Amino acid sequence: MRFTTDLMQVQHPVSRIDIISVLTGDGRREIPLMKGFSHLFDGASKIVFFPKTPISRKTGLSCLEAFKIVASKYNVTNGLCLIDKEFVVGRDPSREVQNMLQNVGIQVRSVDLISSDEDMCVTVNCSLGSRVILANVVFFGKVKCVEENISKLIKYVYGDTVPPRKRRIDRYLKGKRLGLCDFILKSGKRNVKRAFPSLSYAFSYFENPIS
């Protein structure tokens, strides 16, 4: 898969069904993470599009409010929303996602929850006007955030225990002379799938969509 923060830089014509638009809150840590995943997974025709300027400055599930804007502005049919689990308010994330999308005028057709010991993913088939859209909403962390997944990946690759805190992880990777993107690539798909099961599920779907 190819990664870009600017669709204008994509040289060859791309079908809207091959664009995967990434939504987050105001964080930018996910950029090197998405870049690494894009290079690690197959799908030469796919473009992982992470807007250079955040569509929404809201955090947590509120960033889903921008999904309608993205789907309309860029005419895409695949969305990937990245949220830390600490922002899940109730006990039913599927219902929370469904309610948020319906509140902005997106019709929800079906909802599936893919849960693991490390994180979870809510897959939503929905429609906006005549278009059918797939949204994968990934909730990072067993308890709180994406740093838990990264810490787990460090354990799998190097056998070291690093607290799931941004500064401690950045310091550790700096000692290895690695940025987050390079670390993802160095770790290999097998380890990445273990540490990021839900995000890997989403990318595997985009890699080989079920017709």
**Residue 32, domain member (yes or no):** yes
Number of domains in the chain: 1
Amino acid 50: pLDDT: 87
| Order of strands, sheet of 131-140, starting from the edge strand that comes earlier in the sequence | 2-4, 47-49, 19-23, 78-84, 131-140, 120-128, 107-115
Amino acid 185: pLDDT: 96
* Overall pTM > 0.95: no
**Residue 51, domain member (yes or no):** yes
CATH of the domain at 78: 3.40.980
**Residue 162, domain member (yes or no):** no
**Residue 50, domain member (yes or no):** yes
**Residue 40, domain member (yes or no):** yes
Amino acid 27: pLDDT: 64
Amino acid 55: pLDDT: 61
pLDDT tens sequence for the chain (211 residues): 889 888 777 666 566 668 888 988 666 778 999 999 999 998 778 889 888 766 656 667 777 888 888 888 877 888 899 988 888 766 788 888 898 899 888 899 999 988 777 788 999 999 888 888 888 999 999 889 999 999 999 999 999 999 999 999 999 999 999 999 999 999 999 999 999 999 999 998 887 765 4
Give the range of the structural domain holding residue 66, as residue numbers without chain letter.
2-142+195-207
Amino acid 165: pLDDT: 95
What is the C-alpha to C-alpha distance for residues 180 and 101, in angstroms, rounded to an integer? Answer: 31
The token duo for 135 is 């949204």
Q: Is 2 exposed, middle or buried (0-12, 13-18, 19+ CB in 10 A)?
A: middle
**Residue 147, domain member (yes or no):** no
**Residue 164, domain member (yes or no):** no
DSSP 162: -
Three-state DSSP state, 81: strand
* The total number of residues written for the chain in this structure: 211
Amino acid 154: pLDDT: 98
